[in-house]
Each structure stands twice: as structure tokens, then as C-alpha cells.
Chains A and B, each alone.
Chain A
């Protein structure tokens, strides 16, 4: 069976590789593979830190996908770094907000413990530790998948009449009318004293995360805004808020070298969960992953493969059907 995948971001490429491994004849179409939201993604495999009241199904989806990552990483030769996440509240109010999130996690039986993170400021009022969290470098994942897929990746848009039995649309916000672009800004910096763990903090209400890569590089992210008149690149206000919050948590970042500042649009869905499933005969949708594209890529690919093969998809994917916002379109 021939499958055409539209979009070579982390989701499209992972779906394509998963299908290719299962023996399908796959082509991926994208004029600029890996240069969309994936290019700015921090690669946190950290569903617990994003958990929120009313989004328990999304947490379960994230945990299921995180569990697939170690084996997936080994297969494609990309290191999954299991550093865990330190949740850090800068002032007493921030700690109160984090304490709510921690009690939600405990009620959902997600392990929460404590840890020492030496680079955190003494002024940080409180911390908790999510030992299960990990991260990958999304650009390495894209590089590995592009190499493995070789000439099955076509650097052009999906043709109007693709020679395929099934089309899988993974083009982010453009893939479905219920999706919208949600701008995110991040920085990459390099320092001599990076955090050992991922850090997800709240600084006077301002959320920020730090993801340590290898050789001292740290990703600082991320803003989240839906506005119709954003400039193409990052904004002064966004960068200021991120750096102010990040340096409050980790004062030694003051001397870090700024390597890159960039902005990309994530595909936002109405309920923050992805849209995965058939939208018509031979038409599959796998889009709207918001902040969770990297995390959710493996479970999405597993679900897409099940749909293509006519098998039941993993149960955790069922709340995220592609048809649940039909009335919007």
C-alpha cells in the first residue's frame, strides 16, 4: 500500500518512518523538512510538567508516548536524556501555583520527589522533582529520520493528486480548519555551568523552562501567544520576559553566550490535544499537537499505523479523534 505523508516536521517524519518500518511504501512531502515548529522545539519528553486540571486524557497520552521514546530513540540512533524536571517556584505565590499542579500529579499517581539542583538561585522559594521526565534534541531526531528515509522525503508540497492509497496530513495548523497558529519564542544559550536537570519554573507568574543539552548548551523557552499581527521573528518583549525569568531562576545564566533566538508557530487545537484519525476515505489527519509535537510523535505514529493497517488504535488516542471539532469547520 502506498502512503503519502504531507509535512516533514517531527510528527510527519515519525509517522513516515513508523509506516516504512511496517513495510508500507511511503513518501513524505515538504518543501522545507524540519524547519517549522520542530525547529524551535525544546524536545521535552515531560508530560507531567504540562499537566492541568481537565486535561487528564492529554497527560495519559503524553505518558504513553513518553514510554515509547527510549526504544524509538535507540532505533533511530538518537539519545534520550532522562534528566527529570525540577519544578521551581520563585516566590511564595509561584510555589502555591506549583503545589496545586503537584497535588494534581499525585492524585494521578505520577511520581513526584525532590532533588538538589545546584545552579538554582537561593531565592527560589520551593521546588519539586519529576524524575520520569526526559528530553531529546528535535533537530537530531529530524536529521536521523531524514537520513533513514532518504529519497522517500520529497522536497516539495504534497501534489494535488498524490499517487497514494492513503494521505496522512501532518502540516500543523494548516492541516485542519479548527487549528490555529500559536507563536512560541525560544533562545539557545551556552554556559559553563548548565543545570543538570530540566527546569520548569514560574517566576512571579511568568512560566519558563530550561533544557540542558550536551556541551553546555541550554534551551530557554517558551512564550505562547496567538496574535494575528506577529512579526516573523522573535519580539523584544518575549525575549525580555524569558530571559528575566530564566536568569532569576539560574543567576549564572548572566554570563551565558546567546547562540540563537527564534520564533515558530505551533499548531494549536481548541482543547490543546492533537487531532488523530480519518477525516474521509483515504484521508488521515495527525496534527494540532501544540507544545507536544516531539513528545507525542511516537504515539501519534503508532495510531496512524494502526489506522492505515485497519487495526484498533491505542486506547489513549481515542479521546483525540480528528472529527471532534467538526462543527467548527
Chain B
């Protein structure tokens, strides 16, 4: 059944700084706090798995103290139904209608279940949520998510936590071309150059979690990713030169001495 679209708009969606950070895989609250202080991310996404860590000395209290914008996510949800329920509980608990929607189709690969994703996205958009779906790097699925009224799409660069970077840059470019809404690269970031590449491909932001939380020096890695997304964005706007198959001399050849 096609859901009736709500006339009420979700909260205005602002990307903020194009580095977004996930808390998944963090080794301690103290380290996470230092990472966020060092990187000042545009958004911080937190796994809710129902209610999340709401205690007075827990993760959410700490993030609130730091004044960061929170993006609750439905990580670990294996069905549309579970994801929708988790999103609703998160909205209640965190007082935000933003949600990073994850519907996992396979626990080994952690790839999205796009069928469940489309149905959950439709339901949540109709319910007034600002929906940011984690999806495969498929331009058709991305366009369908945009049609449903999602606020952004979040294609994966490579599987969650794999650190492989962007294994198919052309696919990310196709997603970029397929939608007018923001594209946020999610999953697969391993190091700074991956984040720079995402921005050079036209992404509006990059989400990194494990790349930071499991680095040997998480604060240093967070700083490097912040610089990388800024560099990648500048490069994207600067208009790179076309790739050529042969050399093009940068100094004029005319005027050389005739021997």
C-alpha cells in the first residue's frame, strides 16, 4: 500500500560540517569524547537498538554535553518493522526526527535490504521523519528513495567496517548524478584518502566510524578525515583537469633553441 504523504515537513535538514562521525566500535567514552572535540563533526550518529544508552553517565548524555547534533541510527535492525519501531523510539528518546535508516539484509555482509529499506523509508517519511537511508550504491534505488521524500541518500563505499574505501567510484558518481538530494558516503572508509575521494566524486558529506574508533590513534585519524573531506570538497569545486592518455607538457615547447 502506498502511504499517504504527510503534509507536515520534517525538521529542516542541514548537513553541517561534511565530516560525520559514527560511534560504533568505540573503545571508551573518554576516547570518543576526545575524537568529537578534535573533529567537530557535522553530525554524530548513534546506534539506538531500541532506546540506546540514555543513562546519566552514558554515551548520549556525554554527546549532549558536547553539544553535537545527534543522528540516531537503526543499526542492527533486520527488518523494516524493527527499523521503524527503533526510529520511533529514538525520536521519542532524543527528541529529533532525524534518522539514519538501516535495514540489514544479511548479517555476514551487513549489506542493506533495499526492499525493506524502501518500505521503511516510505513509512517513516509519511510519519514526518527526516530519513537518511543507508543503501547500496545503486542509482535506481537512490532515485526511488529520493522520490519517497528521503532527505539524503547514504550509499556504501564498501562493506561496513571493511576499511576497503570506495571500491567502485563510478557507482558513487552514478548515485550522485541520479539524485538532487545530498549524497553522504557511508561505510567503507579506511583512511583519509578514501574520504577525500568521496568528496571529489561529488558527495556532500562522509560518515566514518570504525576508521576512527579502531585506529591506533583515533584523535589523529579524526583530524585527518576532517582535513581530507575539506580538501576533497575544494578539489571537487576547483574543477580537476581531464584525464589524458598521453603527456601534455606544462611548459611551452615553442621558443626552444634550434640547434
Q: Are B51 and A270 interface neighbours, CB within 8 A? A: no
Task: Report if A204-B50 is in contact (Cβ < 8 Å); known contacts: A270-B29, A270-B30, A328-B57.
Answer: no
In this complex, how many residues of chain A approach chain B with their Cβ under 8 Å: the count is 23
Q: With the chains together, A209 CA to B81 CA distance in Å? A: 33
Q: Are B58 and A228 interface neighbours, CB within 8 A? A: yes
- Kindly identify which residue among A53, A204, A328 contacts B217, using a CB–CB cutoff of 8 Å: A53
B226 contacts the other chain (CB 8 A)? no
Show 26 residue pairs from A and B whose CB-CB distance is below 8 angstroms, ordered by the A residue: A52-B27, A53-B216, A54-B217, A54-B218, A93-B162, A100-B216, A177-B57, A178-B57, A180-B55, A180-B57, A180-B58, A204-B108, A226-B59, A227-B50, A227-B53, A228-B51, A228-B52, A228-B54, A229-B51, A268-B29, A270-B30, A270-B33, A271-B28, A271-B29, A271-B31, A272-B28
Q: Which residue of A lies closest to B215 (CB)?
A: A53
Name A residues whose Cβ lies closer than 8 Å to a Cβ of B: 52-55, 93, 100, 177-181, 204-205, 225-229, 268, 270-272, 328
Q: Which residue of B lies closest to A178 (CB)?
A: B57
Q: Which residue of B lies closest to A205 (CB)?
A: B161
Q: With the chains together, A295 CA to B53 CA distance in Å? A: 26
Q: Are A179 and B57 interface neighbours, CB within 8 A? A: yes
- Kindly identify which residue among A53, A177, A225 contacts B56, using a CB–CB cutoff of 8 Å: A177
In this complex, how many residues of chain B approach chain A with their Cβ under 8 Å: the count is 24
Q: Which residue of B lies closest to A100 (CB)?
A: B216
Q: Are B55 and A181 interface neighbours, CB within 8 A? A: yes
Interface of chain B: mostly helix, strand, loop or mixed: loop
Contact with A along B43-66 (1 / 0, CB 8 A): 000000111111111110010000
A contact residues around B162 at 8 Å (CB):
93
Q: With the chains together, A135 CA to B108 CA distance in Å? A: 32
Q: How many A-B residue pairs have CB under 8 A?
A: 56
B contact residues around A328 at 8 Å (CB):
57
Interface of chain A: mostly helix, strand, loop or mixed: loop
A contact residues around B30 at 8 Å (CB):
270-272
Q: Are B108 and A272 interface neighbours, CB within 8 A? A: no
Given A93-B162, A226-B58, 19 further pairs, Cβ under 8 A: A53-B217, A55-B27, A100-B216, A177-B56, A180-B53, A180-B58, A181-B55, A226-B55, A226-B59, A227-B51, A228-B51, A228-B54, A229-B51, A270-B30, A270-B62, A271-B28, A271-B29, A271-B31, A272-B27
B contact residues around A180 at 8 Å (CB):
53, 55, 57-58
Residues 53-111 of B contacting A (Cβ, < 8 Å): 53-59, 62, 108
A contact residues around B28 at 8 Å (CB):
55, 270-272
B contact residues around A178 at 8 Å (CB):
57
Q: Are A229 and B58 interface neighbours, CB within 8 A? A: no
